[in-house]
Each structure stands twice: as structure tokens, then as C-alpha cells.
Structure 1
Amino acid sequence: MSKRIAVMDLGTNTFHLLIAEGNASDYKALVHEHDSVKLGEGGINKGIIERAPYERGIATMQKFRNRIDKFEVKDVKAIATSALRNAANGRQFIDEVAHKTGINIELIDGEQEADYIYRGVKLAGGMSGQTTLIMDIGGGSVEFILGNEHAILWKKSFEIGAARLMDKFHRTDPISEDSIHSLNSYLEEHLTALIGVAAKYPINALIGSSGAFETFAELLERDKGKRFDLSIKNYDFKLDDLIKVTENLIASTHEQRKANTGIIPVRVDMIVVASLITRFIINRLGIHNVCMSTYSLKEGVLAEMMD
């Protein structure tokens, strides 16, 4: 039975809306849009949503409501993650959205977030029978899921998202060597659980789910004189090329990144710490195969709704 559904992924940096119809394995996207809300701007490490991003978030939810009504969608799900679950005024935001739009936001924890990400990546067909590490770099948190096409072996959400790390470590531009060293030490300290479990399971490949990895792919394709096709579900990196593009981003200035049309505005600055996280994981865990899935949390929610 064909269903028409609307999924909203309300992240720390970006609010996404996906309206689709069909079934999980073969659906048609009617609306696929996002707004750079930057909900964590100015308050991410203080545990509060500041007034300007708060208002941007409300305005985007009202716009999404209008889009949902235009397409006459009745089956609607809005998922909120790190920024809203950790903000002192997160509940106030959720209540105001419900009052002004009738959309009831579901606040999920990191474990549920990891489940949806796994389901989305699996739906894209990028998983195999071998042990794979999925990494989803969000603004507030980073999810790691170890598993294969059959099951999740281990999962954990860490509150070390790009907006948090940028606020803590990216104080000069380009980012200083001292800050890079401090950030790597911070990751070493906070990712002990991941490092420990990775020692038990030989990892065949790393899959980066959407986000920063789409930017890496876009930049690499542009270097070849091509345009990255976001309609594809999976993309394989050459490791040397990926390392080179992350090194260039880490060494770049804000003005250089801003002038690069391959980097969307919301990622102009956060792509630096996202590059550093990616490089840390590849080096620390000795990973040789890296790919990207354009599917992530919202596609995992879609799969659940359509099934």
C-alpha cells in the first residue's frame, strides 16, 4: 500500500523536511528541503537555545507546516535530537511549536538516534556482511554504529558534535596547531568506549552518513570537473583523496571556505572540526575503506513509517 508521509529531522544546525510517497524500498520524494536554523548558535555549550536561533526554528516549523498542508499529508513525524534534548528551554520550544503549528515534536535519545541512522544507511544499500562503522557527525552529537547488514553489534551517541567542538576549539582561523592537538586529545579521552570496542571487531569500512561527507564528495568531484549527484545513495572515497581534501579544509581560512561554492553556508566553519573528527577516526582506528551514504536519520524514520 502506497503511503504519503512527512518526516522532519530537527538537528542542531539544520532542520530537514522530507515528504514522500510509496514504500520504503521504492519511494518518491515530493519535497526534500532544509533550513539552516543553527539552533545551537551561541548557546550549544551553555545548554540553552538563544533568542535568534529560537525564532528561526519557530519560523522554519511554521514554513514546514504550510508545506505539509499543501501536500495534504496526514502521517507526520518530527524528530528532535541533541540541541533540543540538552537545552534548558528545549521543552518550551517543543510546546510553542505544538501550539503554533500542531506539530508534535518527538524528543529522542542518542540510542534511538543511532537506530534510525543505521536503518537509513541500511535502506540505502551500503551495508555488507562485513563489520562496518557508521559515523554520523551532527552539530550537537556524533553517533557511531558498529554492525553489518544483518544487525547492530554496538552503538553509542557522544555529545561531541561539530557545533560543540567548534565552540570549544576553533577560536582562530585557520585553526591553530595547538587547538588541533587539544581537540585530538579531547577526542581520545571522550571516545574510549569506541576505541575499546573497535579493538574487538576488525572494521572493514567506515560509512559517513550524509552531512560533512556530502561536502567532501562534492569537493572531490569538483576537483575532477564534475558535479556531485546527491540523488545517488552511496559514494566510495579513495582514501588518499579524502585525506587530502580534509587537510586542505583544516588549513583553509573562513574566507576561502566561504568563497568555495562546493561548501554550503551552514558548513563553512563546522567543516573544519568535522574534517578533524574524520581524520582522527581514520588514523586512530586504522581504517582503509571509506564511503558515504546520502541516507541518514530521516530516511530511517521514513522506513519505519512506511513499513
Structure 2
Amino acid sequence: MTVASIDIGTNTVLLLIAKIVKNKHLIEPLYEEQRMPRLGKGLKKNGKISDEKIEMLLSILSDYKKKTESYNSEIILVTATNALRIANNSKEIIQMIKSNLNLSVDVITGDREAEFAYLGAISEINNIKTQLVIDIGGGSTELIYGNNDKIIYKKSFHIGSVSATEQFLIHLPPLAEEIHLLRRELGVIFNEIKSKFQPDLVIGIAGTATTLACMIQGLSHFDREKVNGSLIFKTELDDLVSKISKIKPENILDKYGEILKGREDIITGGAIILSELLAIINSNSIGITSRGIRYGAIVSDLFY
């Protein structure tokens, strides 16, 4: 059967259309797309998603629905995370999506988001006993520790690449003091996981991790085959943070190419979060996969 899964995030809206082999728990991607309406921009300050962003979201979902129909998708799953969780006008937006496009949106809790992230991340991994999955989104960061498909710990933390940038990195490029304050705050936020885990594998999913993998590999466009299964070493990441924290967003885009478009002003914040997390868990590397929440939604809905 063919299934579509849409992930409405704080920064991006992602589409996956996949062939599902239920008895083998296989998800074979047929088509993937991402767009970046930045629904969460100014959300913490204003408490609501702007009319302009709502129009962008409806347009994206309309295009995505047409694409799912072209693949004769039998099921369309639509999952929404932090932006629609915290926006004061989320109910109205969900109703608009239903009335205009006949799509039902499932706004999941932070814990559920963590679960989907984990299930997606491990959906093509075999023979690894324990893993810690790190999902740095726009408005939140999920950490999930498990043994094979059994989740032992999961938590959603209220900081992501967009919120970290808006709250701490006021100047772009950021001042050294701003970076120091962000790192100090991250140490407080993530203190509870210090020395808590000793995973066989640390896995990074979502746009921050995959974009950083592309930057380190010198890829100006996303290449699933080169990104999935690749490693980012902490030394490489810290070198990258040192470089991009000294230049303006437009220069980051010029230097690293199309892969940064729409993310050039928040990638430094996301990279600092990942760097700090690797330091806290005492890991010198992280494996990368593009499989995340949209994959986990399929696993949860169809395989369990």
C-alpha cells in the first residue's frame, strides 16, 4: 500500500510518500519534499501564528495533497508538533485545514513527538542494542533513549534552533557573550541527562542534524544516500560552529549553498545545541538519518 505522512513543524513542513510492506515493517520512500514556512517565527513573542504564515501553510498542504493524490496514496497522516501545540490560534488553523483540504491534523504531545522521532530514527537500523535519538526542532528538542524498539526514556525540552536564536542570539553573527549565555542555559536545561546514558549509538534526526551533515561533507544540496548513515564528529562540529558563528546569515548561505536556504539565520543556534548535547552526554560523534517524525507516524499508526 502507498501511504503519505506530513510533518508540520515549527520551521519546516515535510512530506513523505512511501510504499509500505506491513508484514515486514518496511517503509520504502517513493517521494519526499520539504518546505520552510517558519510557522514559529515570532510565536513565543506574539502567542499566535500569523495570517501570512497560515496562508503559506495552507498553500503548502494543498500542493502536498495534490502530490499524494498523484501517487494514489491510500492514507494521509498529518502530524503537527510544537508550533501548533503552543499557538493560541491552533484550533482555528486545524479547522481551516479540515474545511479547506479535508485533512485531519493530529497535534501530538511532546512525549508523543519524542516517541515518533525514535520510531522513525530506528526504522532502518538493525542489531544496535541501545540508542539515544536527538531531534533538534525549531521550537523544541526531543531526547529518546531506548533498547531496540523499547523506549526507556523520552522527554521534550522547550528549546530548539528557532527559539534559541530568538531568545539568545540577538545579534547575527552572535556576540561571544550571547553564545556563552546560550551554552550556560543549555547546560541547565539538559542537566538531568548528564551521565544518565551510555548508548551504543547516538542518532541525530531532523533538519538541524541533516543540514549540519551536508555542510560538513561540502554538499550544497541534500543527498539522502550521503547523509543517511554518515557520522558527525564533535571536533568537526565545533570547528563548524567556530566558523559560522563569526559570519552573517547571508554569508553562511553564500558559503554553504542552497541547503541552508531558509535556515541560514538559525543554523548556528541549532549547531550550538547539538554541540552542547554531545558534550553533556560525553559522545565524540553522532550518526545521522533523515528518517524522523513522518516515518515514526507511519510506524506508530500501521505497525503497532
Normalising by structure 1, we get a TM-score of 0.90
User: Which one is further off, 71-80 or 119-128?
Assistant: 119-128
In structure 2, the residue matched to 1:267 is: 263
2:176 is the alignment partner of 1:213: no
Instruction: Give the alignment partner of residue 243 of structure 2, picking from 241, 244, 248.
Output: 248
User: Contact 2:203–2:288 at 8 Å: present in 1 too?
Assistant: yes
Structure 1 residue 304: Cα displacement: 3.1
User: Which residue does 2:112 correspond to in 1?
Assistant: 112
Report SS of the residue matched to 1:231: helix
Alignment-derived partner of residue 66 in structure 1 = 66
* Aligned counterparts of 2:188 and 2:222: Cα–Cα separation in 1: 35
Task: Tell me if 1:84 matches 2:80.
Answer: no
Q: Is the counterpart of residue 291 in structure 1 residue 287 in structure 2?
A: yes
For residues 11 and 123 of structure 1, the distance between their equivalents in structure 2, rounded to whole angstroms, comes to 20
One-letter amino acid of the structure 1 residue matched with residue 78 of structure 2 = A
Per-residue CA deviation, residues 51-110 of structure 1 (Å, 9 max, x unaligned), is 211211111112222222233323111000000010000111000000000001011001
**Structure-2 separation of matches of 1:247 and 1:209:** 22
Q: Distance in 2 between matches of 1:266 and 1:127?
A: 36
CA distance 1:215–1:262, shift in 2 (3 Å): farther
Q: Secondary structure at the match of 2:119?
A: helix
- State the secondary structure of the residue aligned to 1:266: coil
Summarize the alignment of residues 21-170 of structure 1 with structure 2, pairs less than 5 Å apart. Answer: 21-23=19-21, 25-125=25-125, 128-130=128-130, 132-170=131-169
CA distance in 2, matches of 1:96, 1:15: 17
Deviation at 1:289, TM superposition (A): 2.9
Cα separation, 2, equivalents of 1:41 and 1:156: 23
Code of the aligned partner of 2:224: L
User: Which range is displaced more, 289-298 or 69-78?
Assistant: 69-78
Moved over 4 A (4+): none
Displacement of 1:229 in angstroms is 3.1
CA 1:17–1:154: 2 relative to 1, 3 Å: same
Paired residues, what number?
Answer: 299
Unaligned runs of 5+ in 2: none
Secondary structure at the aligned position of 1:166 is classed as: helix
Q: 1:77 to 1:228 in 2, by over 3 A?
A: closer
Matched residue of 1:237: which SS? strand
Q: 1:8 aligns with which of 3, 6, 9?
A: 6
2:38 & 2:221 partners in 1: Cα distance? Answer: 26
Q: Distance in 2 between matches of 1:9 and 1:257?
A: 26
8 Å contact from structure 1 (residues 82, 141) kept in 2: yes
How far, CA to CA, are the matches of 2:212 and 2:127 in structure 1? 20
Structure 1, 172-181 or 20-29: larger mean CA deviation: 20-29
Contact 1:236/1:292 (8 A) holds in 2: yes
What SS does the aligned partner of 1:139 have?
Answer: coil
Distance 1:44 1:35 in 2: 21
- The residue type paired with residue 296 of structure 2 is G
Cα distance in 1, alignment partners of residues 84 and 290 from structure 2: 24
User: In the aligned structure 2, how far is the partner of 1:210 from the partner of 1:163?
Assistant: 13
Q: Which AA in structure 2 matches 1:60?
A: I
User: Letter of the aligned partner of 2:262 in structure 1?
Assistant: V
Q: Distance in 2 between matches of 1:124 and 1:295?
A: 9
> For residues 303 and 14 of structure 1, what CA distance do their matches in structure 2 show?
21
Spell out, residue by residue over 1:119-145, the C-alpha distance to the aligned partner (whole angstroms, 9 max, x if none).
Answer: 111112177114x32110101111001
**C-alpha distance in 1 between matches for 2:251 and 2:279:** 26
> What is the Cα deviation at residue 227 of structure 1?
7.5
CA distance in 2, matches of 1:228, 1:287: 25
Q: Which amino acid aligns with 2:242?
A: E
CA contact (8 A) 1:12 1:38 kept: yes
AA at the equivalent of 2:223: D
Distance of 1:289 and 1:30 partners within structure 2:
30
Using the aligned pairs only, state the percent identity. 24
Contact residue 193 and residue 281 of structure 2 kept, 8 A:
no
Conserved in 1, the CA contact under 8 Å of 2:190 and 2:277? no
Q: Which string of whole-angstrom CA distances, capped at 9 and with x for unpartnered residues, describes residues 30-50 of structure 1? A: 321111111012224432101
Q: Give the equivalent residue in structure 2 for 1:234.
A: 229
Q: In 1, distance between residues paired with 2:27 and 2:203? A: 23
User: CA 1:289 to 1:274, structure 2 compared with 1: closer, same or farther past 3 Å?
Assistant: same
1:187 is paired with a residue whose SS is: helix
SS at match of 2:224: coil
For residues 181-232 of structure 1, the C-alpha deviation after alignment (integer angstroms, 9 at most, x for no partner) is 111222122223333xxx2433444211131121222122228xx9763135
